Amino acid sequence: MSIEPTVLYICPNCFSAETSPGECPHCQRERVECDPGKPDNPCRKPPMDKDGRLLSRAPLWWLIRSAPYLRAKLKELR
């Protein structure tokens, strides 16, 4: 049984993902490292408020990586 890596390298411009770092072959931007966690990790889900309404369609791990200043705001809404 092989274990899939949880770390992805995503282009911040076109969002293409790879399992290794480097330059995006599509738009030549450097891919950023993102760790979405294991498949059952709650950070893979989009953030919701206490009533279950979506605050964003992006998964929490992406928001933390790409917009860390939102993390405190999201905690306030939970």
**What are the pLDDT digits (tens) for 29-77?**
999 888 888 888 888 888 888 888 888 888 888 787 777 777 677 666 6
Q: Which amino acid is at 52?
A: G
pLDDT at 47: 86
pLDDT at 56: 84
pLDDT at 26: 92
15 — alpha (psi -120 to 50), left (phi > 0) or beta? left
CA atoms of 60 and 43, how far apart (whole Å): 5
pTM: 0.59
Q: Which residues are within 8 A (CB) of 41 and not within 5 positions of it... i.e. 6 or more apart?
A: 61
